[in-house]
Amino acid sequence: MLESLSSKEFDKELIGYCIGCNCGCKFIAYIKDNKIVDVTGHPSDRLGMGSFCTKGIALVQELPFSELRLKESDKPSIDLSNDIGIYVDRFCTDEELQRAFSFTENVYSNMLYVEKPKTIEIENIPDKKVILNISEPSYYDVMLSRWIIDAKQKGAKLFSAGAMFTNIMFKSHYKKLIEPYQFLSFLENIKNAFDIGHSEDEFINKFATFSTKLSSALIIIEDSYIKIDRDFVLGFLKHMKEKYNIDYIITGNITHWPVKNIKEHLKDIENHNVIINVGDMFRHIPDNKLESFSKKDILSLSHMANMSVNLSKYYLPRKFFIEMDFTKKTAFLDVSAKKLFENENSYTLLDIIPDVKNISHIKSPKYEPTNLNGYALFVGNSVVDDMGHYSRWLHEIESNQYVYINKTLGDSISIADGELLEITTEYGKAIFKVKISANIPNNTFFISNGFDEYQPFYEGVRPGVLTIDKSFIPVVRYRKV
């Protein structure tokens, strides 16, 4: 028995794994009267190293017992012999994903399919001498931030680039804001700099020079940027590994199961008589498709009464990971865990879909590149994701939705903090309050993807109105309201 790490009174300690992100940190839950009174990171955990983030604490201690949680409902009778589509999210376990793919090839998600998300283990990051970080892991794969900073403290040269100044950027030796339409050229210029040994871009030149001289480099990149052109970016990473032995780690909302994207779902919807939604599919559906989706026989399994529950014909309470036996494989872990609490009034996909043990139809999905030119909308991760707004603790971190632009863009349309801006993309339009920020590059609009029209406390605009499940999208028009 470990020496207690909690100051609270408790009856017993239970050990589990958090799957709120890819890190899958091991935790200790302290139980009194069958309730969790405290949670701490497990000191022997190879990833969390004894730490446990705010998001993890909310997902383990607060949300499973929240008054906002979806309550008991009767299990409906659905004819699964009809053509069926299944939507899955990042909380789905490997058992659920395997069950989905055993039943149909029509499995959809806003997650990005990546067959090989890393070339090194996360604990080897501090041994790297040069790191190019194109991500903000403190927003999703939280403990990855700690490993990056450990590398810097051991002497690694830390470079950060992207469409937003972030926490890791401010801690970096070298930093660069990139307008979204320049990102693919940025990667191409890195490859060229290694080929010829020099670049006119001083940021790229220093990265190439240090990487070549120190021969121990790593690129960390999040799914948001890969979605611009998946094949191009993955091809770049493969080239840098094979030719220059530069390792990479892909982070963010990714999966090793070959899910189809939401855009394909929009095309296929008329072919599906039944849709099983595990998560919050409707957040990614544009306005002009909402009616056709909501007319279908849709069963939503959800932790909370989210947008999908409100628009579905049937719904069921969903188990939290502390209430289920599960296997989870991500970029950073491969674990099997046992339930900490019983909950007979909630369900998983395994309770809905029969196991037919047929996965011969699995094949890699197709991804269309996004043509970015000039003004672009960046719908990115933040500390608060869609689940976070059902947590009072996390909601306080980001209680209101804004569009962030820099001062140059604000001055060009004579708009100031708190004023309203209408943004139009090919999928729709929405109005946001403005925040002027020096952390955003030129010609770029940033909004958090963690809001929707059905969340508690304060409403927001869902990502599907403007981008479906993409992270970057061209802005067709913008105007002060």
Q: What is the 3-state secondary structure (H, E, C) of 79-128?
A: CCCCCEEEECCCCCCHHHHHHHHHHCCCEECCCEECCCCECCCHHHHHHC
pLDDT value of residue 80: 85
* Structure tokens given for 270: 């008329």
Q: Report d(CA 295, CA 277) in Å as an integer.
A: 14
**Residue pLDDT tens, the chain, 481 long:** 456 788 889 999 999 999 998 889 999 999 999 899 999 999 988 888 888 999 999 999 999 999 999 988 888 888 887 789 999 999 999 999 999 999 898 999 999 999 999 999 989 999 999 999 999 998 889 899 999 999 999 999 999 999 999 889 999 999 999 999 999 999 999 999 999 988 999 999 999 999 999 999 999 999 999 999 999 999 999 999 999 999 999 999 999 999 999 999 999 988 898 999 999 999 999 999 988 888 889 999 999 999 999 999 999 999 999 999 999 998 888 899 999 999 999 999 999 998 887 766 677 888 999 999 999 999 998 878 888 899 998 898 889 999 999 999 999 999 999 999 999 999 999 999 999 999 999 999 999 999 999 989 888 999 999 999 999 999 999 999 9
Closest among 234, 218, 229 to 117, alpha carbons compared: 234
E strands of 195-307, at which residues?
217-222, 247-251, 254-255, 274-278, 297-302
Say if CB 286 and CB 453 are below 8 A apart. Answer: no
Per residue, the 3-state secondary structure of 27-68, as one string, reads EEEEEECCEEEEEEECCCCCCCCCCCCHHHHHHHHHHHHCCC
pLDDT value of residue 381: 84
Q: Nearest 5°: phi and psi at 314? A: -130, 155
| Identity at 58, one-letter amino acid code | A
Axis-axis angle for helices 183-196, 230-244 (nearest 10): 20
3-class DSSP assignment, residue 454: coil
3-class DSSP assignment, residue 445: strand
Q: How many residues does the chain have?
A: 481
Q: What is the pTM of this model?
A: 0.95
Question: Given phi > 0 = left and psi -120 to 50 = alpha, else beta, which region is 277?
Answer: beta
Closest among 44, 38, 35, 34 to 57, alpha carbons compared: 38
* Contacts for 132 with CB less than 8 Å, ≥ 6 apart: 159, 160, 161, 190, 207, 217, 218, 219, 220
The 10 Å Cβ neighbour count of residue 108 is 27
Q: Report d(CA 219, CA 75) in Å as an integer.
A: 46
pLDDT value of residue 359: 67
* Contacts for 138 with CB less than 8 Å, ≥ 6 apart: 145, 166, 167, 168, 383
* Structure tokens given for 258: 């070959």
Q: Check: CATH 2.40.40.20 for 376-480?
A: yes
CA distances from 24 to 321, 328, 333, 392 (A): 11, 8, 7, 23
The helix, strand and coil proportions of the chain, stated in percent and rounded to the nearest 5, come to 30, 25, 45
Q: Check: CATH 3.40.228.10 for 113-252?
A: yes
Closest among 403, 383, 404 to 394, alpha carbons compared: 383
Exposure on the CB side of residue 16, measured as CA atoms within 13 A: 26
Angle at 415 between CA 414 and CA 420, to 5 degrees: 140
Radius of gyration of the chain (CA): 22
Q: What is the arrangement of strands in the sheet containing 26-32, beginning at the earlier edge strand? A: 12-17, 26-32, 35-41
* Contacts for 422 with CB less than 8 Å, ≥ 6 apart: 429, 430, 431, 477, 478, 479, 480, 481
* CATH code at 12-65: 2.20.25.90
Say if CB 464 and CB 283 are below 8 A apart. Answer: yes
pLDDT value of residue 356: 80
pLDDT value of residue 94: 95
Q: Report d(CA 95, CA 92) in Å as an integer.
A: 8
The 10 Å Cβ neighbour count of residue 14 is 17
Domain boundaries, the chain: 12-65, 113-252, 376-480
